Amino acid sequence: METETEVKYNFIQTNQDLTRVLGEIEKESIISVDTEGSAYNPYEAKLLLLQIATKDNAFVIDCGQVDISPLKPVLEANRPIKIIQNAKYDYSLLKVQAGITLGNLFDTMLAERILTCGISREISLKTLAEKYLGQKIDKSIREDFSNPRNPALRGKFTKVQLDYAASDAIVLREIFEQQYRQLRGEGLIETAKLEFATVPAVAEMEIRGSLIDKEKWRSHISELGKKRDQINKEIQDDIRHLAPYTQVDLFGKESDTVNLDSPLQLLGVFKKLGENLPNTSEAILQKTKHPLAKKLLEYRAYEKMITSFGESILEKISPITGRLHPDFLQLGADTGRFACNNPNLQQIPADSGFRSCFIATPGYKLITADYSQIELRIMAEVSEDPAFLKAFKEDLDLHSLTASQMFRVPLEKVNKDKRFQAKSINFGLMYGRGPVSLSNQIGLSVDESKKLLDVYFASYKKVKRWLDDVGRSAIRNGGVRTLGGRRRLFSLPDRSHPDYDKLMSAIERQGKNMPIQGTSADITKYALAYIHNEFKDRKLDAYLIHTVHDEIVAEAREDIVDQVAVLIEEMMVKAGEKLLKKVPVKVDIHVSNCWEKG
């Protein structure tokens, strides 16, 4: 029946009602889709409503009363296009609670992010409705659905809730039409297609999740704690010997123990040691020659790992699945890179020991696949520098080759220090690294680092030319693009701004980084979409479980793991070759019982 309200829609409460309108939905080429659930976690949520809007009608379906499985073919098919806001949520909720996946998506949230990358992160439906339609949406009603005392959880919906649910689906089509025109006009259709194709892969990663060996995790934390305490003891002994320190507490009790988390106390200690430091930041300590600074950095590294990856990670394991289900943000960075929350797997160092605690499901193996030096290969592609191209075409060690060119020594005589200096410059190029930043990393003076950079750019003239050109282009055009066409915009400051020069330098630096890091993100996303589709089409007992920058991790049944590993490598190379035409693409694959590189 049609509800007599300002918002026109059909409230579907029986299977017969759904059958009557199914034909109308199936004949459409474009529909809007939305869901209302009782929680954001698809495993904990109850699917309450499913809303579908066509060009002429809207339908709000009571999922507690109606079997929505007849909609499965139309929702999973390539036709019609499904317009959705934050499609990953609806995909996950429908998959977990109704066994329905969504095919051929247009995500208005991701579309807005693509259009405004670099200048805005206002991508909520409330913002989009006001921006494109001049319409205000009261999103506080959304919270009603997750209130455990709300009658909606028992299928008793108020008129306000139904109107709200219908409106969310109805506005999506109008937003879509305006966004699509902008995407086409600004040459961003291919980027949008890539992001939309990546949504199912990301949703499936989150749904599958990762298994953690909790006892091994706790054991590792304990070992780190012992190492931290040992370093603490060594530091305290050094201070007592070199710069005795005494403080009196509120009760008049003396102590010669320094609080290593107190910058004030540490500055006092370093002053006694003849080091007048402005602060005790990591950058300052790295430049400080006294051995105590190095020990303090080591202490902080252990402390950070313990606090960042301690019991708090284990607390995020789902009591329903027994697995960790992180939140992957497809456009977490303006370059197009992923971000990750709850927990942030990107922060876990590859050599920390924590990765080995991520284990395969019994009967399965983990496949860790990562692109070999993909950002440097992209640099070779865009700069067309002959030395870079030669290194990758002949599969040479680029860092040793760079050191050989810079220091005018035969390749076989490049030592460890010179290779490290060359490697630091090679990787620093993508972040617009200057002499100050370089000096902090390699331990040379700023003048020495500047000379190194001068020698480097004299050896790689085309690299310097490209970096200079793209940096200037970012300022001249107010934006830059990746090889795949992804765009990042920049808000240029007014010349009267007190920090004008500093802000312009930052834009130039980001402009150099974006085409490299963004192209790497594009390649990884193509790979995720290709792999997901192959797993689905071949009905393989294999699953994507997470990604960190240019690395992809999957889980496959033991008896097919070698076949799946080959498939993943093929798809990752295919993705790389879609954008890189002048350099070969190389992927390193490692199969193990845990998350580790070979």
Domain ranges in the chain are 10-186, 214-312, 326-373+521-592, 375-515
Higher pLDDT, 138 or 294: 294
When computed from its CA atoms, the radius of gyration of the chain, rounded to whole angstroms, is: 28
How far the first Cα of the chain sits from its last, in Å, is: 62
Mean pLDDT check: name the lowest of 371-375, 403-407, 410-414, 469-473.
403-407
Q: Which two tokens stand for residue 346?
A: 């990107």
Q: How far is CA 377 from CA 393, 398, 510, 512, 548, in A?
A: 10, 10, 19, 15, 18
User: Fold match between 214-312 and 326-373+521-592?
Assistant: no
Mean pLDDT check: name the lowest of 183-187, 319-323, 433-437.
433-437
What would the mean pLDDT of 58-75 be, rounded to a whole number?
Answer: 97
For residue 193, the surrounding DSSP H or E stretch is helix 189-208
In CATH terms, the fold of domain 375-515 is: DNA polymerase; domain 1 (1.10.150)
Mean pLDDT check: name the lowest of 53-57, 64-68, 151-155, 322-326.
151-155
* Dist. CA 528–CA 237, nearest whole Å: 52
pLDDT at residue 5 in the model: 47
Query: Do 354 and 545 form a contact (C-beta atoms < 8 A)?
Result: no
pLDDT at residue 254 in the model: 57
CA angle 188-34-115, nearest 5°?
20
> Three-state SS string across 477-540, please?
HCEEECCCCCEEECCCCCCCCCCHHHHHHHHHHHHHHHHHHHHHHHHHHHHHHHHHHHHHHHCC
Query: Do 339 and 113 form a contact (C-beta atoms < 8 A)?
Result: no
* Dist. CA 312–CA 307, nearest whole Å: 8
pLDDT at residue 347 in the model: 86
Chain segment 354-363, per-residue pLDDT in tens: 999 999 999 9
Query: Do 589 and 368 form a contact (C-beta atoms < 8 A)?
Result: yes
- Residue at 278: amino acid letter: P
Higher pLDDT, 151 or 468: 468
pLDDT at residue 151 in the model: 66
pLDDT at residue 1 in the model: 37
Q: What percent of the chain has pLDDT over 70?
A: 94
- Residue at 202: amino acid letter: V
Mean pLDDT check: name the lowest of 140-154, 266-280, 505-519, 567-581.
140-154
pLDDT at residue 143 in the model: 62
Residue 154 has pLDDT above 70, yes or no: no
Higher pLDDT, 542 or 463: 542
Residue 582 has pLDDT above 90, yes or no: yes
pLDDT at residue 436 in the model: 79
Mean pLDDT check: name the lowest of 272-276, 482-486, 555-559.
272-276
What would the mean pLDDT of 521-541 be, rounded to a whole number?
Answer: 98
Chain segment 444-470, per-residue pLDDT in tens: 788 888 888 888 888 888 998 999 999
Peptide bond into 343 cis (omega under 30): yes
CA angle 341-345-348, nearest 5°?
135
Q: How many CB atoms neighbour CB 113 within 10 A?
A: 22
Q: How many CB atoms neighbour CB 197 within 10 A?
A: 18
Per-residue pLDDT band for 2 (boundaries 50, 70, 90) equals: very low
Phi-psi region of 302 (alpha: psi -120 to 50; beta: other; left: phi over 0): alpha
Write down the H helix ranges in 52-107.
Answer: 72-76, 87-98
Residue 52 has pLDDT above 80, yes or no: yes
Per-residue pLDDT band for 145 (boundaries 50, 70, 90) equals: low
- Residue-averaged pLDDT of the chain: 91
* Dist. CA 148–CA 58, nearest whole Å: 27
Residue 217 has pLDDT above 60, yes or no: yes
The answer to whether domain 10-186 has CATH 3.30.420.10 is: yes
Higher pLDDT, 63 or 439: 63
What would the mean pLDDT of 408-421 be, rounded to a whole number?
Answer: 86
Query: Structure pTM?
Result: 0.91
What would the mean pLDDT of 244-248 be, rounded to a whole number?
Answer: 65
Mean pLDDT check: name the lowest of 73-87, 293-307, 413-427.
413-427
For 214-312, CATH gives 1.20.1060
The answer to whether domain 326-373+521-592 has CATH 3.30.70.370 is: yes
Q: What percent of the chain has pLDDT over 90?
A: 69
